[in-house]
Structure 1
Amino acid sequence: MHQGAQCIGENDSLRTAAQMMRDLSVGALPICGDDDRLKGIITDRDIVIKCCAEGKDLDSTTASELARGLVWVEADHSVEEALEKMEQHRIKRLPVIHNRRIVGMITEADLAKELPDSKLAEFVHRIYARA
């Protein structure tokens, strides 16, 4: 898990999201509301496909307009439970929550570093097999 995931505010623009992704060298950001609660996640691909390719304005379109999937894992859950959620929802990034606040993000890169090759291969097959 990458600890200390930074959120994009639900009312922030997609330009701000893209700049944050660039500055943080990440491909996804959790979207948090004014209540500091997770509202969804946005990826660099979402910005390109759902905003740029559709001719929408990066400065007036907000992160919440592209928010998708509210799937997460509790910080005290096992790696197996996190993998199961990622496989079930066919997602490559999973926010980690503790005391109702985001504390990190699990990514494919994290899995590649931590999982045995056989388990990683199984995960990759399940995520991409139906793509």
Structure 2
Amino acid sequence: MQVSEAMTRDVRVANVEQTIEQAAQLMAGLDAGALPVSDDSRLVGMITDRDIAIRAVARGKGPETRVRDVMTDDVKYCFVDQEIEEVTRNMGDVQVRRLPVVDRDKQLVGILSLGDVAVTTGDGVAGEALMGISRPGGAHSQTG
């Protein structure tokens, strides 16, 4: 099964110049914990509710802090025509629960979450990825 069969296509995007308050309001309205971040039309990062809590609030930064100041700028992504099994294995390896999905021209076309994978495949692949993601430590840390 390819990513295109499981991903969420209607993706809202935060802008690097928005405040974290605006990003959090967008997340709340979407009932989502993460947003891709763009600068003009280029994907430059991801911002999560955890980024806001750990990199902003825990460090005393206020709601006017810009998204660019707390986002994760090491963008991990997958391609729309990749196989789900390969992508979920990669998600476990790099310890992320969701990935922006791009086409071969690297234009954002969706987002893939472990929830999308679990609902669509029902074959335990999401659980295996979650075991990898849940390992303590690893390269992906909000405190860095």
TM > 0.5 fold call: yes
* Residue range with higher mean Cα deviation, 117-126 or 17-26: 117-126
Counterpart of 2:68, as a letter, is S
| Corresponding residue for residue 23 of structure 1 | 29
- Alignment pair present for 1:97 and 2:115: no
- Cα distance in 2 between the residues matched to 1:57 and 1:46: 13
Contact kept, 8 Å, 2:17 with 2:66, in 1: the verdict is: yes
Contact kept, 8 Å, 1:28 with 1:41, in 2: the verdict is: yes
Pick from 65, 69, 93 the counterpart of residue 69 of structure 2: 65
- Cα distance in 2 between the residues matched to 1:106 and 1:31: 15
Return closer, same or farther for 1:119/1:80 CA change in 2, 3 Å cut-off.
closer
Contact kept, 8 Å, 1:112 with 1:120, in 2: the verdict is: yes
| Corresponding residue for residue 142 of structure 2 | none
Question: Which ranges of 4 or more aligned residues in structure 1 deviate by more than 6 Å?
Answer: none
Counterpart of 2:89, as a letter, is E
Q: TM-score, normalised by structure 2?
A: 0.82
* Residue correspondences, number: 129
CA RMSD of superposed structures (Å): 1.4
Q: TM-score, normalised by structure 1?
A: 0.90
**Identity between Structure 1 and Structure 2 (%):** 31
- Alignment pair present for 1:77 and 2:85: no
